[in-house]
């Protein structure tokens, strides 16, 4: 989690108003109801963890990271090429997401497994992680009904689940049916309606895509509030290319969309960690570093997609560790610089004087603890780096993910909850 | 011939609030007045004393009355041109445009085919200047990128300058020229290239950057060179590089004060010596690795410091040269990408005028041409981001949306054709589908950049210097070499 003190705006107030007005004009007779719905939806949304210490609150100043896609392919923890996702890959992804402190929310499932049902995946998620679970594959109402029952089984009942929603749903236009089920159960949802052609191959203007998407979100919010007044609704920002084709700079779209979310007072979820790079290297890093920095600076969203490559097609434990490092890096940047008399340190500067050294000073000992420290970044001297076999960030990330998984100790679900989950899945016949 | 690819950012990022900038400014004035800065050069001390500063001749420490600092800031020009031999490549420092340069003073070259690391030579200075000349993203040649380690130490700066002047028609900002004699020689080379001393003053094709000695000090030879620069009317600035928790307080605010006081003190000297001479502020503040005591070569705090220091320069309306990119990574990969992306984003959005710079690895020690090209790609990405989103009737395109409707495609629309031309296109990013990429042998950005680097090195021809100028420069360097045993630096 990071609480940004910095602010970056890509649209001026007038531009925001123009985009909003354009969206309302697309909504036609539903415009007023859509605006009312956005006002009626809560400004903050609790995404509860199985343990309260894992709770995430969207809509404040904090930025949160969500791990996973879902991805049909997975890069094995032990390395090598991406393959069809296996049960082992799914478990590794869930465990790594559970143990990395930068990850606030887990996407369900981070890895799609052949011959595994969505509800089996959800059961595994509920059993493995104590963090909030973001259902990203649910579309059918019947599946969503079972998912709600499963969530209630872990939360301690339907009312408890409503109070502390362990599950939420984020999706595109195909998720509307499942979203309505979740919303009626008091679970946070976010999706957008199709008001414009979905043409990923189409190059489109960013302003046009932004207005179309904003209208789609407002339309979805109207549907949810009509079905479940006051239901928590999340302004969902998909990867820019989903809406606008092969767009110029995805970070720019994400920034602008987050401003639109803020304009209508809705908490936001941004699936912008969606690099098209197929390896966790230079390009993936450039993509994600800029997206994370700009989104963090814009303030407040849940950033989805950590650990994914190839536009979400591949989940990579290595990439998740690297994205977590990027998030940590950006968290420090977003925290800004505190200016007060103690930190300006004029007296300290005078005492150390010209040509002096601050290393052994009490002021330094007090404040050096706050200096950011890397998990992956290499700061060794050249000779030491060569002696280590020129280990790069990718090798380190592999080692970190293996270490974390080896030392992982799960916080198990109670036996009764586990049995309930199994029974619900079996009874569903889905 | 390339034209300069500057950034005029529409987006702005403010790391400090206006009242926080004022607090840093006030604290800097207090430190300048109370603690002072060391100037170990008699000529500089004389200038500062005559200008009303309190000089302790024994220690070389100068304390600055705030009025002297404010007056110097008022005299310094807000806008000026870093002229190029080719006027089309002039760099206009107007507070609205940001320019990238190469990084400077590397001492090694990475052979991008074998991975071998070797000492840089004068031939490398020439090749790197020619490489800079070829790239529109690099507005001027800083440094040079690597130094002529095969040249005599006493005249190395002259060899560096000769290789740069011959191989690029872009502006040259020297970093390696220190000492009065060397500075005069390099300035005289610029006189030869410009066609006369007055012409050089009118169109300064050369500027000087001098490193400071942190905390709160300067080097004698650097001070001498800076005064020569100002005497010739050449832009000059001082670059402190305080390390928080080492040569600066562990708090970022305190390190900003040390950084700001250091660069302002150099500005005051030059304005007192030659009022109205073009100057710039500069800095490359960083933090120490508290576990090892070493330079970090990239950290989140670096970018905060860079952005905040640039905001201070904006407050003074004086051009700012900010250390940018200059990754501590040892190879062009993931770590370099983080450093380069975030530092460029911060410098651009904060409004840095000069961003120094691209091409070096391992904490500005090793030049890698493919790495340099990959950094120019990041610069272009950030440039596109800094342009923001145009929101107008035409870009909102409500009529087009209405016409295409709910199931159509925008591909064939004239609106799309018109606007698609503006879209950013990568040079080294791969956008092919996964399967195609696998079939192509998994090419990465580094492979593409390596190919492009080879092409530039093999084919680019800089605009030639007139033969008589070349000969005159060569003679000047040869004469300096011949007398180098007696030549004080």
CA distance B277 to B75: 8
Model confidence at A300, in pLDDT bands (50, 70, 90)? Answer: low
Largest Cα separation within chain A, whole Å, is: 77
pLDDT of residue B312: 97
What distance lies between CA B32 and its chain's CA centroid?
A: 25
Please name every residue paired with B354 in a beta bridge, in sequence order, or none if there are none.
Answer: B99, B321
Chain B nearest CA to A323, separation (Å)? 11
Chain B nearest CA to A339, separation (Å)? 6
Contact at 8 Å (CB) between B29 and B66? yes
Contact at 8 Å (CB) between B112 and B456? no
Q: Assign domain A13-334 to its CATH superfamily.
A: Trimethylamine methyltransferase-like (3.20.20.480)
DSSP structure string for B66-135: HHHHHHHHHHS-S-EEE--SSGGG-EEE-SS-BEEEE---B-EEE-TTT--EEE--HHHHHHHHHHHHH-
DSSP classification of residue A314: E
For B158, residues 6+ apart whose C-beta sits below 8 A from its C-beta are B182, B185, B186, B189, B476, B477, B480
- B55: helix, strand or coil: strand
Of A344-348, B301-305, B408-412, the range with the lowest mean pLDDT is: B408-412
Q: What is the mean pLDDT of residues A111-131?
A: 91
Q: Which residue has the higher pLDDT, A276 or B454?
A: B454
Express as a percent the part of chain A with pLDDT over 70.
93
Only one residue has tokens 């070389």, namely: B60
Please name every residue paired with B138 in a beta bridge, in sequence order, or none if there are none.
Answer: B100
CA distance B144 to B124: 10
Write the CATH number of the domain with boundaries B55-386. 3.20.20.480
Residue A53 has pLDDT above 90, yes or no: yes
Express as a percent the part of chain A with pLDDT over 90.
62
For residue B296, which phi and psi values (nearest 5 degrees)?
A: -80, -35
Contact across the interface for A372 and B299, Cβ inside 8 Å? yes
Residue A207 has pLDDT above 60, yes or no: yes
CA distance A100 to A96: 6
pLDDT of residue B1: 41
Interface check for A40 against chain B (CB to CB < 8 A): the answer is no
Which chain B residue is nearest to residue A339, measuring alpha carbons? B253
Express as a percent the part of chain B with pLDDT over 90.
80
For A389, residues 6+ apart whose C-beta sits below 8 A from its C-beta are none
Whether the upstream peptide bond of residue B215 has omega within 30° of 0, thus cis, is yes
pLDDT of residue A426: 87
Which chain B residue is nearest to residue A367, measuring alpha carbons? B250
Contact at 8 Å (CB) between A46 and A165? yes
Contact across the interface for A322 and B334, Cβ inside 8 Å? yes
Interface check for A293 against chain B (CB to CB < 8 A): the answer is yes
pLDDT of residue B486: 52
CA distance A386 to A367: 33
Residue A10 has pLDDT above 80, yes or no: yes
CA distance B424 to A231: 40
pLDDT of residue B89: 96
Size of interface A-B (CB pairs under 8 A): 323
Q: Could you give the C-alpha distances from B201 to B83, B129, B277, in angstroms and in order?
A: 10, 23, 10
Q: Kindly report, residue by residue over B85-96, the tens digit of the pLDDT.
A: 999 999 999 999
Contact at 8 Å (CB) between B202 and B231? no
Residue A2 has pLDDT above 50, yes or no: no
Give chain A's mean pLDDT: 89
Contact across the interface for B342 and A199, Cβ inside 8 Å? no
Report the residue from A194, A293, A363 with minimal CB separation from B342: A293
CA distance B352 to B340: 15
Sign of CA dihedral B374, A378, B357, B28: positive
CA distance A309 to A317: 11
Sign of CA dihedral B465, B468, B469, B475: positive
Q: Kindly report, residue by residue over B467-487, the tens digit of the pLDDT.
A: 999 999 999 999 999 998 654
Interface check for A345 against chain B (CB to CB < 8 A): the answer is yes
Residue A200 has pLDDT above 60, yes or no: no
Residue B407 has pLDDT above 50, yes or no: yes
Number of H helices, E strands in chain B: 18, 20
Contact across the interface for A282 and B36, Cβ inside 8 Å? no
Q: Kindly report, residue by residue over B441-463, the tens digit of the pLDDT.
A: 888 899 999 999 999 999 999 99
Q: What is the mean pLDDT of residues A144-172?
A: 96
Contact across the interface for A252 and B384, Cβ inside 8 Å? yes
CA distance A427 to B1: 73
Helix (H) or strand (E) holding A236: strand A235-237
Q: Which residue has the higher pLDDT, B442 or A71?
A: A71
Report chain B residues whose CB lies below 8 A from the CB of A394.
333-334
State the angle between helix axes of B445-459 and B122-134 in degrees (0 to 180), rounded to the nearest 10.
Answer: 100
Please name every residue paired with A169 in a beta bridge, in sequence order, or none if there are none.
Answer: A135, A189
Sign of CA dihedral B241, B246, B248, B253: positive
Report chain A residues whose CB lies below 8 A from the CB of B424.
248-249
Model confidence at A202, in pLDDT bands (50, 70, 90)? Answer: very low
How many residues appear in chain B? 489
Contact at 8 Å (CB) between B281 and B326? no
Q: Which residue has the higher pLDDT, B171 or B386?
A: B171
Model confidence at B361, in pLDDT bands (50, 70, 90)? Answer: very high
pLDDT of residue A242: 65
Model confidence at B2, in pLDDT bands (50, 70, 90)? Answer: very low
For B417, residues 6+ apart whose C-beta sits below 8 A from its C-beta are none
Residue B348 has pLDDT above 90, yes or no: yes
Q: Which residue has the higher pLDDT, A350 or A5?
A: A350
Q: Kindly report, residue by residue over A230-269, the tens digit of the pLDDT.
A: 999 999 988 766 665 555 567 788 888 989 999 999 999 9
Residue A182 has pLDDT above 50, yes or no: yes
| Half-sphere exposure (Cβ direction) of A237: Cα atoms closer than 13 Å | 32
Report the residue from A18, A202, A348 with minimal CB separation from B391: A18
- B182: helix, strand or coil: helix
Report chain A residues whose CB lies below 8 A from the CB of B406.
194-197
What distance lies between CA A218 and its chain's CA centroid?
A: 21
Contact at 8 Å (CB) between B98 and B68? no
Model confidence at A201, in pLDDT bands (50, 70, 90)? Answer: very low
Contact across the interface for B27 and A289, Cβ inside 8 Å? no
DSSP structure string for A78-132: T-SS-EE--HHHHHHHHHHHHH-TTEEEEEE-SB--TT--HHHHHHHHHHH-SSE
Token pair for residue B412? 């064939």
- pTM of the full predicted structure? 0.91
pLDDT of residue A248: 53
Pairing mode, if any, of strands B61-63 and B54-56?
A: antiparallel
Report chain A residues whose CB lies below 8 A from the CB of B252.
337-338, 343
Residue A194 has pLDDT above 80, yes or no: no
Q: Which residue has the higher pLDDT, A242 or A409?
A: A409
Which chain B residue is nearest to residue A249, measuring alpha carbons? B385
Contact at 8 Å (CB) between A210 and A257? yes
Give chain B's mean pLDDT: 93
Residue A328 has pLDDT above 50, yes or no: yes
Q: What is the mean pLDDT of residues B329-347?
A: 93
Which chain A residue is nearest to residue B410, measuring alpha carbons? A202
Contact across the interface for B253 and A337, Cβ inside 8 Å? yes
Model confidence at A199, in pLDDT bands (50, 70, 90)? Answer: very low
pLDDT of residue A430: 62
Interface check for A7 against chain B (CB to CB < 8 A): the answer is yes
Token pair for residue B151? 């040249």
Report the residue from A246, A359, A366 with minimal CB separation from B293: A359
Chain A stretch 222-241, residues whose beta carbon is closer than 8 A to a beta carbon of chain B: none
Q: Suggest the residue from A332, A358, A378 to mutate for an interface test with chain B (most B CBs closer than 10 A).
A: A358
Q: Could you give the C-alpha distances from A408 to A100, A141, A393, A397, in angstroms and in order?
A: 10, 35, 22, 16
Residue B434 has pLDDT above 80, yes or no: no
Q: What is the mean pLDDT of residues A146-175?
A: 95
State the angle between helix axes of B252-273 and B18-34 in degrees (0 to 180), rounded to the nearest 10.
Answer: 60
pLDDT of residue A195: 64
Q: Suggest the residue from A19, A339, A365, A386 to mutate for an interface test with chain B (most B CBs closer than 10 A).
A: A339
Q: What is the mean pLDDT of residues A169-188?
A: 95
Contact at 8 Å (CB) between B353 and B93? yes
- Domain ranges in chain B are 55-386
């Amino acid at each position: 989690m990071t609480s940004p003190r910095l602010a970056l705006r890509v649209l001026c107030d007038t531009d925001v108003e123009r985009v909003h007005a354009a969206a309302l004009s697309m909504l036609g007779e539903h415009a007023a109801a859509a605006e009312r719905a956005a006002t009626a939806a809560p400004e903050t949304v609790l995404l509860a963890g199985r343990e309260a210490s894992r709770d995430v609150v969207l809509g404040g100043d904090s930025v949160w990271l969500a791990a996973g896609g879902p991805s049909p392919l997975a890069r094995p923890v032990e390395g090598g090429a991406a393959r069809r996702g296996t049960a082992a890959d799914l478990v590794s992804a869930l465990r790594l997401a559970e143990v990395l402190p930068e990850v606030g929310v887990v996407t369900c499932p981070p890895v799609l497994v052949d011959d595994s049902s969505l509800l089996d995946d959800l059961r595994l998620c509920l059993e493995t992680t104590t963090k909030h679970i973001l259902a990203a594959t649910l579309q059918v109402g019947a599946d969503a009904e079972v998912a709600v029952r499963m969530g209630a089984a872990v939360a301690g009942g339907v009312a408890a689940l409503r109070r502390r929603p362990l599950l939420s749903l984020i999706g595109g236009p195909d998720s509307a049916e499942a979203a309505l089920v979740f919303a009626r159960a008091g679970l946070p949802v976010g999706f957008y309606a199709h008001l414009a052609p979905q043409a990923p191959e189409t190059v489109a203007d960013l302003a046009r895509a932004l207005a179309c998407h904003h209208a789609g979100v407002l339309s979805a919010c109207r549907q949810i509030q009509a079905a479940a007044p006051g239901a928590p609704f999340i302004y969902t920002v998909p990867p820019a290319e989903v809406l606008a084709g092969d767009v110029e700079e995805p970070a720019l779209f994400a920034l602008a969309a987050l401003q639109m979310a803020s304009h209508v007072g809705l908490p936001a979820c941004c699936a912008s960690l969606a690099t098209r790079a197929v390896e966790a290297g230079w390009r993936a890093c450039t993509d994600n570093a800029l997206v994370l920095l700009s989104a963090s600076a814009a303030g407040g969203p849940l950033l989805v997609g950590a650990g994914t490559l190839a536009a979400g097609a591949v989940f990579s434990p290595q990439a998740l560790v690297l994205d977590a490092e990027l998030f940590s890096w950006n968290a420090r940047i977003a925290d800004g610089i505190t200016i007060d008399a103690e930190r300006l340190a004029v007296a300290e500067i005078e005492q150390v004087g010209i040509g002096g050294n601050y290393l052994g000073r009490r002021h330094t000992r007090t404040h050096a603890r706050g200096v950011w420290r890397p998990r992956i970044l290499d700061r060794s001297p050249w000779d030491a780096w060569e002696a280590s076999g020129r280990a790069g960030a990718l090798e380190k990330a592999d080692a970190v993910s293996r270490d974390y998984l080896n030392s992982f100790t799960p916080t198990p679900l109670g036996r009764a909850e586990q049995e309930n989950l199994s029974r619900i899945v079996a009874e569903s016949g889905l | 011939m390339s034209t300069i690819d500057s950034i005029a950012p529409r987006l702005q990022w403010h790391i400090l609030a206006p009242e926080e900038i004022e607090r840093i400014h006030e604290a800097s004035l207090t430190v300048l007045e109370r603690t002072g800065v060391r100037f170990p050069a008699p000529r500089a001390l004389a200038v500062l004393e005559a200008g009303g500063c309190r000089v302790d001749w024994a220690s070389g420490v100068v304390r600055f009355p705030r009025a002297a600092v404010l007056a110097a800031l008022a005299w310094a020009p807000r806008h000026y041109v870093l002229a190029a031999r080719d006027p089309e490549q002039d760099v206009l420092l107007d507070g609205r445009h940001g320019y990238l340069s190469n990084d400077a003073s590397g001492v090694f070259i990475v052979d991008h085919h074998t991975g071998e690391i070797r000492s840089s030579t004068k031939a490398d200075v020439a090749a790197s200047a020619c490489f800079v000349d070829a790239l529109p993203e690099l507005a001027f040649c800083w440094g040079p990128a690597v130094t002529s380690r095969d040249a005599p130490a006493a005249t190395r700066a002259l060899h560096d300058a000769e290789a740069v002047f011959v191989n690029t028609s872009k502006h040259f900002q020297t970093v390696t020229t220190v000492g009065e004699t060397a500075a005069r020689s390099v300035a005289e080379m610029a006189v030869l290239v410009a066609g006369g001393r007055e012409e050089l003053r009118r169109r300064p094709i050369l500027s000087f950057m001098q490193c400071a000695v942190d905390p709160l000090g300067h080097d004698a030879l650097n001070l001498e060179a800076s005064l020569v620069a100002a005497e010739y009317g050449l832009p000059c600035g001082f670059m402190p590089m305080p390390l928080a928790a080492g040569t600066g307080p562990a708090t970022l605010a305190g390190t900003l004060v040390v950084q700001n006081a250091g660069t302002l003190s150099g500005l005051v000297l030059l304005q007192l010596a030659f009022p109205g001479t073009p100057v710039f502020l500069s800095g490359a503040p960083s933090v120490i690795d508290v576990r090892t005591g070493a330079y970090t070569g990239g950290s989140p705090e670096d970018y905060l410091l860079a952005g905040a220091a640039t905001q201070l320069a904006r407050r003074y309306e004086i051009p700012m040269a900010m250390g940018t990119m200059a990754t501590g990574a040892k190879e062009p990969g993931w770590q370099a990408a983080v450093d380069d992306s975030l530092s460029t984003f911060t410098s651009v959005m904060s409004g840095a005028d000069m961003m120094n710079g691209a091409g070096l690895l391992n904490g500005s020690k090793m030049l890698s041409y493919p790495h340099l090209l990959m950094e120019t790609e990041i610069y272009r990405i950030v440039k596109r981001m800094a342009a923001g989103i145009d929101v107008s009737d035409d870009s909102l395109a409500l009529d087009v949306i209405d016409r295409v409707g709910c199931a159509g495609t925008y591909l064939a629309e004239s609106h799309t054709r018109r606007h698609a031309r503006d879209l950013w296109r990568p040079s080294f990013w791969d956008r092919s589908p996964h399967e195609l990429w696998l079939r192509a042998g998994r090419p990465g950005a580094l492979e593409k950049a390596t190919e492009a680097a080879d092409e530039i090195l093999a084919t680019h021809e800089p605009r030639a210097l007139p033969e008589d100028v070349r000969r005159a420069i060569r003679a000047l360097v040869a004469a300096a070499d011949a007398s180098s045993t007696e030549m004080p630096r």
